C-alpha cells in the first residue's frame, strides 16, 4: 500500500528560528500533498494543499509567509515554519492524494 514518510517525528526549537518538516511518498508519486495541524485533544485542521511544481493553496487564516510549502518533486513536499513562536507548537501531519494515507506526524515544540 501507499506509504507516506514524515520527518522528523519530533523537534524542539527556540523561538524565532525556522523548522523544516519533510513529507515523502515512498512508493508512489504524489502530485498533491496536504498539510494538517492538530492541537492537543483536537481534530486535524487542513492548513494548505501542496501542488507539485506550483504554488501551494492555503486555507483561510493560515499565513503563507509563516508556513512555507515547497513541492519541488513528485515525492517530496516540505513545510517550513518560519520565525517559530510557542503558539506554533502543534502536531503537524501530511497526507498525499493517493490512498488516503497519512504521515506519522511531527510534534513541534517551540520554547
Partner 1 sequence: TQLLEQSPQFLSIQEGENLTVYCNSSSVFSSLQWYRQEPGEGPVLLVTVVTGGEVKKLKRLTFQFGDARKDSSLHITAAQPGDTGLYLCAGEDDYKLSFGAGTTVTVRA
Binding site for partner 1 (CB under 8 A): 4, 6, 9, 32, 34, 41-46, 49, 91, 93, 95, 97, 99-105, 107
3 vs 72, which CB is nearer to partner 1?
3
DSSP reduced 3-state for 54: coil
Is there a contact between 94 and 103 (Cβ–Cβ < 8 Å)?
Answer: yes
Compute the least distance from the CB of residue 68 to partner 1, in Å.
20
CB closer to partner 1 out of 9 and 17: 9
% helix, strand, coil for the chain, step of 5: 5, 50, 45
In the complex, minimum distance from the CB of residue 12 to partner 1, in angstroms, rounded to a whole number? 15
Residues comprising the chain, all counted:
111
Amino acid at each position: 500500500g501507499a506509504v507516506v514518510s514524515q520527518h522528523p517525528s519530533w523537534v524542539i526549537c527556540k523561538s524565532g528560528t525556522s523548522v523544516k518538516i519533510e513529507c515523502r511518498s515512498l512508493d508512489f508519486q504524489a502530485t498533491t500533498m496536504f498539510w494538517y495541524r492538530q492541537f492537543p485533544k483536537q481534530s486535524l485542521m487542513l492548513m494548505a494543499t501542496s501542488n507539485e511544481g506550483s504554488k501551494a493553496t492555503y486555507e483561510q487564516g493560515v499565513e503563507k509567509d509563516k508556513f512555507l510549502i515547497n513541492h519541488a518533486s513528485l515525492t517530496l513536499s516540505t513545510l517550513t515554519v518560519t520565525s517559530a513562536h510557542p503558539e506554533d507548537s502543534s502536531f503537524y501531519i501530511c497526507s498525499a492524494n493517493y490512498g488516503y494515507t497519512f504521515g506519522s506526524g511531527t510534534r513541534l515544540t517551540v520554547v
